[in-house]
Amino acid sequence: MAACRICNNHYQEFISFGQMPIANGFLLPENFEQEYYFEMKVGFCTHCSMVQLLEQPDRELMFHEDYAFFSSLSQGQTIHFEKLANRLIKDYLCETDPFAVEIGSNDGIMLQNLAAAGIRHLGVEPSENVAEIARGKGINTICSFFDEELATRIIEQHGHADTISSANVICHIPYIHSVLAGVKKLLKQEGVFIFEDPYLGDIVEKVSYDQIYDEHVFYFSATSVKNMIAQHDLELFDVEHLDVHGGSMRYFIARRGSHQVTEKVRTLLANEKALGLELHETYQQLRRNIEHSRDQLVEILEKVKLEQGSPVVAYGATSKSTTVLNYCGIGPELIDFISDTTPIKQNKFSPGMHIPVKSPEDLEKKQPDYILLFAWNHMQEIMNKEAQYNARNGKWIVYVPEVKVI
């Protein structure tokens, strides 16, 4: 039993993934012994419908000057955020001298577009290394964690904001009520708060349990978001389902009564009811589906690697892969190495299971028969890039929405 971070009622876990290391904590052998672990348990609050981690490591263990996630490494995401910036400019930043704030702006993937359009902007990014890259591109960035206190400081220095946007960040923040109080203070009267995060409905439907890892403390649905923001007298006025990150939802939020609530919001809330996102049983079934997915993936890898003796390389040392590897107990005996384009992950080892991470050139040299696709959310981009591997009949092992070899 734990106290819900949203409504303070008691809620219970529905699954434990066992001991988990820091998802983005790629490390060297000399640090294996001191590696940090926590028990990763997920629970559902029947009162406010929020799905959340029972425990989360301290934020400084996850977001720091060696943060390993660089948003701009993905071409797909670069285009995605260019579109978002254009949408903000067209619909919400059209008054004179508008001001846009982004929470968790990383290397400036979204704000670079607003900066190029000459729009007054501010990125809030606690991980110093990525914040520094953004500054190098001429993007105004403060290296801090966003909360109510920081919002007050931003108002003093820059005034109120027309838009506050945030992608793949709000679900990371356990002190969410401080963030929402800060958002409300910082927004102009008609201002909008737009955030997107992996969508609970997709996780349930696709059994994409690898979205669950240390950084993601919340797994949002429109239902739980609506309940959460109601405490701050904020209203969900529009929603947009997105294909990125394996299925995300963008939530449009404003002061209650300031924007017309669209039909899409009502439809989505009704769909969530039909999908059972408010029911305890749904998560019991999700647990059974996750266990089944784990057993099938291990079976395929054991067959391919141990019985057939075929080399297996994994594609993308994603944060998500840390959950799969550690929960399924997949180590170097089943996977030769993980190929990844991120320089600071290369020549290190994966968190917990200690599989070597190498470069795409090493993958090219290895010419394996099987590749386990961890970066499945970038499938299209990867299939285009790996046309040669496909042409020589290389096989892909995938596990979302179901475990299979293609």
Q: How far is CA 159 from the centre of its chain?
A: 30
In 10 A of CB 16, how many CB atoms?
Answer: 15
Contacts of 58 (CB under 8 A, 6+ apart): none
CA distances for 249 relative to 52, 125, 262, 402, angstroms: 17, 22, 15, 22
Q: Which does 67 bind (CB under 5 to 8 A by kind): Zn ion, ligand TMP, ligand SAH, none?
A: ligand SAH
The interface region with ligand TMP, picked from 31-39, 149-157, 261-269, 317-325 by CB under 6 A, is: 317-325
Q: Using CB under 6 A as the criterion, what x/- string covers residues 98-137 for binding ligand TMP?
A: ----------------------------------------
Bridging pattern class, strands 234-242 and 218-219: unpaired
* Minimum CB distance to Zn ion smaller for 22 or for 200: 200
- d(CA 19, CA 171) in angstroms, rounded, equals 21
Contacts of 70 (CB under 8 A, 6+ apart): 106, 107, 130, 133, 342
The interface region with ligand TMP, picked from 13-21, 148-156, 346-354, 380-388 by CB under 6 A, is: 380-388
- Applying CB under 6 A, among 21, 25, 104, 246 the residue interacting with ligand SAH is 104
Amino acid symbol at 232: H
In 10 A of CB 406, how many CB atoms?
Answer: 8
- d(CA 246, CA 4) in angstroms, rounded, equals 26
- Applying CB under 6 A, among 25, 126, 247, 368 the residue interacting with ligand SAH is 126
- Applying CB under 6 A, among 312, 375, 400, 403 the residue interacting with ligand TMP is 375
Q: Which does 165 bind (CB under 5 to 8 A by kind): Zn ion, ligand TMP, ligand SAH, none?
A: none
Count of alpha carbons within 13 angstroms of residue 120, beta-carbon side = 13
Q: How far is CA 350 from the centre of its chain?
A: 18
* Minimum CB distance to ligand TMP smaller for 80 or for 226: 80
**Least separation in angstroms between CB 380 and ligand TMP:** 9
Beta-bridged to residue 242, according to DSSP, are 248
Return residues touching Zn ion (CB under 5 A). 4, 6-7, 45, 47-48
* Minimum CB distance to ligand SAH smaller for 24 or for 293: 24
* Minimum CB distance to Zn ion smaller for 43 or for 123: 43
242 binds ligand TMP per the rule CB under 6 A: no
Can you tell me which residue has the tokens 């669950």?
212
Per CB under 6 A, contacts with ligand SAH among 289-328 are none
375: nearest Cα among 245, 266, 268, 229: 245
Amino acid symbol at 272: E
What one-character DSSP code corresponds to residue 122?
Answer: E
Buried b (16+ CB within 10 A) or exposed e, 295-322: eebeebbeebbeeeeeebbbbbbbbbbb
Per CB under 6 A, contacts with ligand TMP among 336-365 are 340-342
Site size for ligand SAH (CB under 6 A): 21
**Least separation in angstroms between CB 247 and ligand TMP:** 13
73 binds ligand TMP per the rule CB under 6 A: yes
Q: Which does 377 bind (CB under 5 to 8 A by kind): Zn ion, ligand SAH, ligand TMP, none?
A: ligand TMP
- Applying CB under 6 A, among 208, 224, 319, 323 the residue interacting with ligand TMP is 319
- d(CA 139, CA 18) in angstroms, rounded, equals 40
**Least separation in angstroms between CB 367 and ligand TMP:** 17
The interface region with ligand SAH, picked from 62-70, 86-94, 187-195, 248-256 by CB under 6 A, is: 62-70
Contacts of 279 (CB under 8 A, 6+ apart): none
Residues interacting with ligand SAH, by CB under 6 A? 63, 67, 69, 71, 77, 103-104, 106, 109, 124-127, 130, 145-146, 167-169, 172-173
Residues interacting with ligand TMP, by CB under 6 A? 73-74, 316-319, 340-342, 375, 377-378, 381-382, 385
